């Protein structure tokens, strides 16, 4: 069974207004899976083929250091795709052209597999048909590159790249401005990146996931933006999407306790309007219900003994915002 991308935590159409509990959603997911198929599988993913906690930097076993080096390499290569594509994001380019450039670079220059290509599918949904996700303006995530989508000045674009190198996944995304952005687009984009950084800054052993969500939600809402609830970050390693679910909202004192070696993504999706989402008939593209702008930034990281190691940092990023690093 394929495990879906960013996991949907709450399914709108069935209108459960129950308290959020991972265990509860797991039970509901299993009960309703025959009805909702792949769609409902988004609520739960299990890291069966790899235990992310095996990837510790704390342990001294060769196995662990191989895993750590594998994640470092995959992360660095994923980041390099975002660095490569920047100059091509200009008015007049199609999202399909960006997909082609990334695909060629990932396969031929990096010797990697683009994880999104042919990912998912089932339950009426076709596998993802392209090598990257391109999410423009009011598209929240999982936008499908197409030669019909010509970028124009003022657009904002998220490119989400996941590469597989020697079985390890590096998952990362960033926002691009096409020409000069509006004031609101620039502000949303910047606040969303700050949300990612504030989440990452909380990561260290003993901290609970709810604190990360709380930091992100507080910063977004202080700026009168909203946090998308229906998609979240995820455990990652030798599988694309595993436990834990990393919610981008929450309360201190809740959620799983972080331990050295855990690998996951933080990938806040922040909306200019309400947090509500809609899935287009292609069963992939998630858009804002109110058609207002949405932004997203993503990194893959690991909990170290003292803090966090971000695997997908780009050269343009100044890592002074990481308080403790291995």
17: burial class by Cβ within 10 Å (0-12, 13-18, 19+)? exposed
CB of 173: closest distance to Co ion in angstroms? 5
Q: Which residue has the tokens 């309703």?
A: 32
Interaction between residue 57 and Co ion (CB under 5 A): no
Interaction between residue 242 and ligand MF3 (CB under 6 A): no
Residue nearest ligand MF3, CB atom distance = 116
Is-contact 157 189, C-beta < 8 A?
no
Sites for ligand MF3 among residues 244-303 (CB under 6 A):
265, 267, 284, 298
Q: Where are the beta strands (DSSP E) in the chain?
A: 113-114, 133-136, 139-141, 156-165, 168-177, 226-227, 233-235, 242-246, 263-266, 269-271, 277-279, 286-288, 294-296, 299-303, 308-310
Interaction between residue 5 and ligand MF3 (CB under 6 A): yes
Residue from 162, 192, 288, 312 binding ligand MF3 (CB under 6 A): 162
Is-contact 252 208, C-beta < 8 A?
yes
Residue from 155, 160, 194, 243 binding Co ion (CB under 5 A): 160
| Kind plus residue range of the DSSP H or E element containing 196 | helix 183-201
224 Cβ contact partners less than 8 Å away, ≥ 6 residues apart: none
Return the axis-axis angle of helices 62-85 and 95-104, rounded to nearest 10°. Answer: 140
Q: Mark the segment that binds Co ion (CB under 5 A) among 61-69, 120-128, 155-163, 285-293.
A: 155-163
Q: Residue 287 — φ and ψ, nearest 5°?
A: -125, 160
Q: Rounded to an integer, what distance in angstroms lies between the CA atom of residue 107 and that of residue 162? A: 12
Identity of the residue, 119 or 168, whose beta carbon is nearer to ligand MF3 in the bound complex:
119
Identity of the residue, 116 or 260, whose beta carbon is nearer to ligand MF3 in the bound complex:
116
Bridge partners of 278? 287
Identity of the residue, 243 or 267, whose beta carbon is nearer to Co ion in the bound complex:
267
Sites for ligand MF3 among residues 168-227 (CB under 6 A):
171
Bridge partners of 300? 265
Identity of the residue, 94 or 326, whose beta carbon is nearer to ligand MF3 in the bound complex:
94
Q: Mark the segment that binds ligand MF3 (CB under 6 A) among 114-122, 197-205, 253-261, 310-318.
A: 114-122
Bridge partners of 113? 164
CB of 116: closest distance to Co ion in angstroms? 8
Question: Shortest CA distance to 132 belongs to which of 124, 143, 121?
Answer: 143
Sites for Co ion among residues 283-322 (CB under 5 A):
298
Interaction between residue 136 and ligand MF3 (CB under 6 A): no
CB of 33: closest distance to ligand MF3 in angstroms? 19
Interaction between residue 133 and ligand MF3 (CB under 6 A): yes
CB of 154: closest distance to ligand MF3 in angstroms? 25
Pairing assessment for the beta strands 263-266 and 156-165 based on DSSP bridges: unpaired
Sites for Co ion among residues 163-182 (CB under 5 A):
171
Interaction between residue 243 and Co ion (CB under 5 A): no
Residues that bind ligand MF3 (CB under 6 A): 5-6, 116, 119-120, 128, 133, 142, 160, 162, 171, 265, 267, 284, 298
Residues that bind Co ion (CB under 5 A): 160, 171, 265, 267, 298
């Amino acid at each position: 069974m394929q495990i879906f991308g960013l996991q949907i935590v709450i399914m709108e159409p069935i209108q459960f207004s129950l308290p959020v509990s991972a265990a509860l959603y797991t039970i509901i997911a299993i009960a309703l899976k025959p009805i909702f198929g792949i769609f409902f599988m988004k609520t739960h993913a299990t890291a069966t083929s790899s235990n992310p906690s095996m990837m510790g930097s704390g342990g001294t076993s060769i196995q662990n250091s191989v895993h750590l080096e594998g994640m470092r390499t995959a992360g660095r290569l994923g980041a390099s795709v975002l660095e490569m594509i920047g100059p091509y994001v200009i008015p007049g380019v199609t999202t399909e052209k960006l997909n082609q450039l990334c695909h060629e670079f990932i396969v031929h220059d990096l010797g990697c597999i683009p994880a999104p290509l042919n990912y998912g599918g089932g339950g009426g949904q076709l596998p993802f048909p392209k090598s990257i996700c391109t999410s423009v303006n009011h598209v929240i995530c999982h936008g499908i590159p197409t030669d019909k989508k010509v970028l124009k000045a003022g657009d904002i674009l998220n490119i989400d790249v996941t590469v597989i190198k020697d079985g390890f996944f590096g998952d990362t995304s960033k926002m691009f401005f096409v020409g000069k952005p509006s004031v609101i687009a620039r502000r949303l984009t910047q606040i969303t990146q700050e949300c990612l950084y504030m989440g990452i800054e909380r990561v260290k052993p003993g901290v609970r996931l709810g604190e990360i969500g709380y930091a992100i939600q507080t910063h977004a809402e202080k700026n009168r933006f909203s946090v998308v609830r229906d998609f979240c970050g995820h455990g990652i390693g030798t599988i694309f999407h595993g436990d834990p679910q990393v919610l981008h909202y929450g309360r201190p004192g809740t959620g799983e306790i972080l331990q050295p070696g855990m690998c996951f993504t933080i990938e806040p999706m922040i909306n200019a309007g309400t947090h509500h989402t809609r899935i287009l008939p292609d069963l992939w593209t998630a858009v804002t219900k109110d058609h207002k702008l949405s932004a997203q930034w993503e990194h893959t990281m690991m909990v170290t003994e003292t803090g966090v190691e971000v695997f997908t940092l780009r050269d343009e990023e100044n890592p002074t915002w990481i308080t403790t690093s291995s």
